[in-house]
Amino acid sequence: MNVWKMGIVAAGSALVLAACGSSSGGGGGGSSCNPTGGSASGSSASTVKIVSDPDTVGKFDPTTLTVAAGQSVEWDFADSSGTPHTVTADDGSFDSCSQTSGKFVVTFSKAGDVKYHCTLHAQMLGTVKVS
């Protein structure tokens, strides 16, 4: 007597990994989340570390960073406590979305002060001075 055992693997369920719901189309500025950011342009990138802080949960280090126009700033999500943070421009021009690790890069092309914050922790404030 032959018994056929057929293992049928249903492959009908597609996994869709939507990282941050960037459904509004890229490249248009605005407040679209961009978890991976851009890519740092060569060695000219300056780094802001995002670290845990006993008083304010987290902080940007350094709080104020000065770069030349055309330079990139790389935020390093380095909070070892696992607390998520965001890098969000006050004017909505960039938004890293909530992250616990990884990098976020923004290239600043226009001179001026760019203030940013963490949407999860009101005390977390930073400024990029573009000269």
Assess contact for 86 and 114: CB atoms under 8 A.
Answer: no
Binding residues vs Cu ion (CB under 5 A): 58, 85, 118, 120-121, 124
Smallest gap, in angstroms, from Cβ of residue 42 to Cu ion? 29
Q: CB nearer to Cu ion: give 121 or 129.
A: 121
Q: CB nearer to Cu ion: give 37 or 71.
A: 37
Secondary structure (3-state) at 129: strand
Smallest gap, in angstroms, from Cβ of residue 65 to Cu ion? 17
Assess contact for 118 and 88: CB atoms under 8 A.
Answer: yes
Smallest gap, in angstroms, from Cβ of residue 3 to Cu ion? 60
- Token digits of residue 107: 């290239």
Q: CB nearer to Cu ion: give 101 or 131.
A: 101
Would you give the DSSP letter of residue 6? -
Rg (CA), the chain: 20
